[in-house]
Structure 1
Amino acid sequence: MEHAFKVDLRGMIDLLSNHLYSDPSVFVRELLQNGVDAITARRAREGAFEPAILARLHRREGELPLLEFRDNGVGLTEAEVHEFLATIGRSSKRISEARDTFLGQFGIGLLSCFMVSGEIELVTRSAAGGPPVRWRAQADGTYTLEVLEDDGLDIGTTVRLRAREDTDFYFEYGELRDALANYGRILPFPIHVTDGEQYDHVNAVLPPWLAFAAGDEGRREEVLAYARAELNVEALDVIPLRGEEGGLLGVALVLPYATQRGSRQWHSVYLKRMLLGSDLSNLLPEWAFFVRCLLNVERLHPTASREAFYEDDALKAAREALGAQLRGYIEGLAARDPGRLEALIALHHLPIKALATEDDDFFRLLAHEFTFETSTGRMKLGEYAARFPVLRMVTNLDQFRQIAQVASAYGHSVINAVYTYDVPLLRKYASLFGRELEEVDAQTYALSLEDVAAGGLEDFTARANAALATLGCEVSVKRFEPAELPALLIVTNEQRLLGDIEAAREVADELFAEFLDDYAAEYELVRVARLHLNLNHPLVQDLLHVRDEAVFARLVQMLYVQAHLLGHHPMRSEELALLSGGLSDMMRWGLRAAHLGALN
């Protein structure tokens, strides 16, 4: 058995007027859209005429404000009022040839007025002939229709809305004027607003970005000034955007501040020069987060709320066209203005790197321009690859600081790849450009240090180890460059983790301390750090001949502390105590030597 759906009209109106739209002020947009549609239809029917849209506010003492919104468009006949205003979900076809994104001359859009008013009154006279009619609709889903006397009423439509007590804010003159300007700023038909005392032609002056986008390159500074004054954006640059796909015309403003991928976008997008919204996020490619756009489209299809676009082939083609133009801008910078490109990457490095890790074409475009910290200074990846046959990277900052001291002496440059996206970018670079990539650590370089013949050094090494016995550090003697570096301390990641565990252990409660002890036990076998003394350094050579055990031990300990500092290792209380004690001893020795010198 078949059954028919039952529709609660009151609930449908509540759903459409209070939940379809994100902001009650969109009723202004819908009234404007209705007027534009009507004017477009009349032009298609009659040819040229003088279009006009007027919003008039009426205020009387003791009454809530009344808005009259009039257009001199095509109007409606009595039959059309029944057909198009009383049937939710049916769109008018009479102007579909003129506007392929048409959602209905009234219908759903007009229902948005119930967000601010309890009643909608519409008086209309059709260009097709016949008497004028008055239509009154209530929020409960009922309406009345009255045929009026033919008293010379002009062709067109007037919508009357009386504010509710909770919505009279939207009927203030300044608020209404600003809403009309916001939605209708670039509409080709004049829009006027008045309250009897104040008057504005809200779209008398078109913004300069339209002319710039159409090819008037001399308006560039005006566009930047417009962005500064109207959008509070000190744009770094402005990019014209044009394309047949979707009928695109607009500009992209390059943001002066860093952005994150996935952050909220506020592209202002117009459909047939009517603002749809300022936070449309599905028109531009996901990676275009470093620009904000002012854009008009002619042939895309909005959703029912007209606050987004349908994900269809037309939208996909438009998105690809916009992406191609933004890529072209970056390619152009690489060719003609590398300084500006470098500044752009430096400012938006995280989002740009995020895109490059996922988009091979975009990566190839910018890969050589990415800047990395290396053991031989900051340099672009393209420069590094040209100078060094092997890409050597370190993925731990402490390890990099240790390696940086010795790598350059061996003709190597090591990349500090500890920051977000560095490792995947280097791996992609090696893969796409056929380069060798090697991940190194401090122990790798320690193994490459030149061993010194053990003969005659066993006693020296034993004495040095005794000096550091309480610090969990073993001493070896090596020869390495640079010769100016007396000692190199190698601390593995596991040893670093043990240090963190021990620090946490000191402040943990008994239960958590037991857990930390069990965790630390897994790394006990690797807890010993390595202090490599450089026999190429004169101080280490002199140390071989020191027989005073107290002086010898203190000098070894100070070399250990110095290596700690040069390697940027965190200083524990033990190292701080050694530093303080060592400085005190050396000052005493200096004073004693000065005193003895004075006696002599």
Structure 2
Amino acid sequence: MTQWQRHIPFKVDIAGVIDIMGASLYSRPDTPIREMLQNAHDAIMRRRRTDLDFRGRIDVVQNADEHTISFQDDGIGLTPEDAEDYLGTVGAGITGLIKRSGDVPDSAGGLGDRGDLIGQFGVGLFSAFMLADRIVVESRHDAADHGIRWEAGAGTEIELMELDRAAPGTVVTLYLKPEYRFLSTQPESVEKAIREYADFLPIPIYLNRQAKRVNVIHAAWFEPSQDREATELALQEYFDEAPIDVIPIRVEKPASIAGALYVTPQRVPGFTDQSAVMVTVRRMVISRKIQGLVPAWATFLRGCLELHDCSPTTSREDLVRDDLFERIKSSLEDLIFSHFSELAKSDPTRLEAVVNWHRYTFAGAALENGRLRGLLRHCYRLPTSHGSLTLDEILKRSVADSLYEEEADRVVWYNTDRRQERWVNTLFAEHEVPCVHTFRSFEESLLAQCAHDDNAKGTVTDLRIATPSAPNFATTILGVSDLEDIEPRWREFLEHVNAKILVGSFRRDQPVMAFLNERYELARSFDEMKQRGEIPRGFQRLIESHFKSDVPQENEVILNRNHPMISRALSQKPGMPLSSVMRLIVINALNSAGAATPDSARKQQTDDLDWIAQCLWGKDG
């Protein structure tokens, strides 16, 4: 059996290509405006190569009567051959060929530096069919005697003819579809699109022949040598918020990066939001919210970066995430760290202001970023019994007591319960070591990570909660001796107070000391709500998952065997009147510290008061 073989050409369904571009390639209907401006820009830049005195301009003109919008430039223009070879071929744009050092005619202006050209993919003109059902191009090349007229609808037929045209340049006219005819009547919509994409193009853009250009063109943050004050004012005006701090950016290796970042005054919620900045490539805005470029921990940074060497995606709405992108990302992180490190030396007050304004974002991110922790150690402050101290100051002051500590070089005491802040400050008032108040769990974790960093360097640092059960807390801080668990019979008698009961010896004028654990109180409150059926099932699973990995310790009470009443009560058996008085004192101490009284303890209080009253006055009193 004879096998057959044939060669067939690729076929392109223009209508299908346009549908794909509109549905998948571009996400916004005003994208063709960007593409038309981009083509006009490149035409002007190519003409500048042959005429160093030429500057050029772009005009966008609306015609409500004709339902059209036109894009006019005085750039290099098109020859008949250019129009035939490039305008009707998807993917064969002149600029793209020039940038790829392709085989292009001399008339295309392909000589010289290619770095000022924006186009690349040869699909810009076809994107206009998203908005228009007919496109007319009228152009004359700078070196030609006659112009050309190119016209196409959404089909496959193109009409190309000679045209009398006096001046070089190009006019692209879009005959808008009914649903997009507002672009021929609403100047504000077109102006918004121009500023969205072309605000920084170095060529002036005018709308409807008005005297004032639409685009900004110049921005202080693009200056080779930035003036800090001018950059700050420019950022404030453009982004409509006052920067807390400004980071000028200008490097050429590993790639060209120019612009400025600033610390926003807007507090970013949570630790998972991605940082986003505006990015331009050859001054064309790619996106005002490029993610993944600035470090994930720096969600508080905003600004504008010109990434001349980066490649935009085909849709030109994002950057290609290639090896160059990763090198730029790494370089930016180094620049940001260098800026903050220098600020720590030259202006520590400003750095502390930045950190304080976004302290939760900094602290949360530093849990996973050792380099960031190293920076925060010098400027992140926590409340302590010795006042506000930086992480470094806390660690340096937490020298372990050599009489009691054989292995630890440092012992960092911390308190997690805001209700005990004043009480803990009193306990540590006469001690050289501070107690740190970590009222937010991530700050406790941050402190622990810093201690771990020190341990890795050979300094043994132990983190301990300020509670009697912690090693050496009772002896070194409270001055309590002979601390032990209460006897089982008394533990049973006091079970309704919901606390761990200890017995020790300390100053005679104080019968008890109570220590709370805020997380224990929180867990107990959740448990009571669960029993009453007040917690949604999904939320209950979240609570159980949290406390499963971090089971909170109980509240603790120390009974003072040196106090006459406590000593006398403990010498008797439970159930005597004095034991009921002691139980009331324990519950009152916990209440005074801020603990909630459980229902069982509240009932026990009533019973104890009745029992004491009967003992004092007799049953018939």
Asked whether the two chains share a fold, i.e. TM above 0.5, the reply is yes
Match of 1:154 in 2: 167
1:234 lines up with 2:242 in the alignment: yes
Q: Secondary structure at the match of 2:178?
A: coil
Q: Is the 8 A contact 2:68 2:181 kept in 1?
A: no
Aligned pairs (5 A) from 1:3-18:
7-18=12-23
Deviation at 1:38, TM superposition (A): 0.3
Q: Residue 162 of structure 2 aligns to which amino acid in structure 1? A: L
Change in CA separation of 1:451 and 1:100 when aligned onto 2, cut-off 3 Å = same
Distance in 2 (CA, whole Å) between partners of 1:310 and 1:53 is 29
Aligned pairs (5 A) from 1:306-385:
306-374=316-384, 378-385=388-395
Distance in 1 (CA, whole Å) between partners of 2:323 and 2:508 is 62
Match of 1:183 in 2: 197
Distance in 1 (CA, whole Å) between partners of 2:299 and 2:322 is 22
Q: Is the 8 A contact 1:120 1:136 kept in 2?
A: yes
Distance in 2 (CA, whole Å) between partners of 1:296 and 1:29 is 17
Q: Residue 146 of structure 1 aligns to which amino acid in structure 2? A: L
Distance in 1 (CA, whole Å) between partners of 2:554 and 2:319 is 62
Deviation at 1:70, TM superposition (A): 0.4
Change in CA separation of 1:406 and 1:462 when aligned onto 2, cut-off 3 Å = farther
CA distances 1:409-442 after superposition (whole Å, capped 9, x unpaired): 7765454565226426335433454332334454
Q: Is the 8 A contact 2:496 2:604 kept in 1?
A: no
1:479 lines up with 2:505 in the alignment: yes
Distance in 2 (CA, whole Å) between partners of 1:462 and 1:51 is 94
Q: Secondary structure at the match of 2:285?
A: strand
Structure 1 unmatched ranges of 5 or more = 510-521, 593-600
Q: Residue 140 of structure 2 aligns to which amino acid in structure 1? A: R
Aligned pairs (5 A) from 1:397-412:
404=424, 408=428
Match of 1:251 in 2: 260
Q: Is the 8 A contact 1:43 1:49 kept in 2?
A: yes
Query: Which of 277, 283, 290 is the aligned partner of 2:293?
Result: 283
Percent identity, aligned pairs only?
24
Structure 1 length-normalised TM = 0.78
CA distances 1:44-103 after superposition (whole Å, capped 9, x unpaired): 13332141211111122xx5x311210011111122122212221223224565334856
Change in CA separation of 1:474 and 1:99 when aligned onto 2, cut-off 3 Å = closer
Q: Residue 263 of structure 2 aligns to which amino acid in structure 1? A: V
Q: Secondary structure at the match of 1:177?
A: helix
Match of 2:208 in 1: 194
1:120 lines up with 2:135 in the alignment: yes
Match of 1:28 in 2: 33
Match of 2:49 in 1: 44
Distance in 1 (CA, whole Å) between partners of 2:84 and 2:216 is 36
Match of 1:215 in 2: 226
Deviation at 1:105, TM superposition (A): 7.3
Q: Count the aligned residue pairs.
A: 560
1:66 lines up with 2:74 in the alignment: no
Q: Is the 8 A contact 1:472 1:527 kept in 2?
A: no
Q: Residue 14 of structure 2 aligns to which amino acid in structure 1? A: L
Distance in 1 (CA, whole Å) between partners of 2:119 and 2:570 is 95
Aligned pairs (5 A) from 1:533-544:
533-535=559-561, 540=566
1:504 lines up with 2:512 in the alignment: no
Distance in 1 (CA, whole Å) between partners of 2:576 and 2:556 is 22
Q: Secondary structure at the match of 1:129?
A: coil
Change in CA separation of 1:294 and 1:482 when aligned onto 2, cut-off 3 Å = farther
Structure 2 unmatched ranges of 5 or more = 99-107, 400-409, 536-547
Deviation at 1:36, TM superposition (A): 0.9
Distance in 2 (CA, whole Å) between partners of 1:262 and 1:492 is 26
CA distances 1:424-482 after superposition (whole Å, capped 9, x unpaired): 6335433454332334454235995645599xxx9xx8997686365466755312479
Distance in 1 (CA, whole Å) between partners of 2:389 and 2:509 is 25
Match of 1:595 in 2: none
Q: Secondary structure at the match of 1:318?
A: helix
Deviation at 1:359, TM superposition (A): 3.5
1:488 lines up with 2:514 in the alignment: yes
Q: Residue 55 of structure 1 aligns to which amino acid in structure 2? A: V
Distance in 2 (CA, whole Å) between partners of 1:275 and 1:378 is 45
Over the aligned positions, Cα root-mean-square deviation in angstroms equals 4.4
1:91 lines up with 2:102 in the alignment: no
Query: Which of 589, 599, 602 is the aligned partner of 1:573?
Result: 599
Distance in 2 (CA, whole Å) between partners of 1:430 and 1:482 is 40
Q: Is the 8 A contact 1:473 1:529 kept in 2?
A: yes
Q: Residue 217 of structure 1 aligns to which amino acid in structure 2? A: R
Distance in 2 (CA, whole Å) between partners of 1:358 and 1:463 is 47
CA distances 1:237-287 after superposition (whole Å, capped 9, x unpaired): 222111113432211121112224442544222222222220112433333
Deviation at 1:15, TM superposition (A): 1.3
Q: Is the 8 A contact 1:192 1:201 kept in 2?
A: yes
Distance in 1 (CA, whole Å) between partners of 2:294 and 2:394 is 34
Match of 1:419 in 2: 441
Change in CA separation of 1:568 and 1:208 when aligned onto 2, cut-off 3 Å = same
Match of 1:514 in 2: none
Match of 2:82 in 1: 80
Q: Is the 8 A contact 2:286 2:316 kept in 1?
A: yes
Q: Residue 71 of structure 2 aligns to which amino acid in structure 1? A: F
Higher mean C-alpha deviation, range 8-17 or range 411-420:
411-420
Q: Secondary structure at the match of 2:241?
A: coil
Q: Is the 8 A contact 1:475 1:532 kept in 2?
A: yes
Distance in 2 (CA, whole Å) between partners of 1:292 and 1:201 is 26
Structure 2 length-normalised TM = 0.76
Distance in 2 (CA, whole Å) between partners of 1:508 and 1:53 is 65
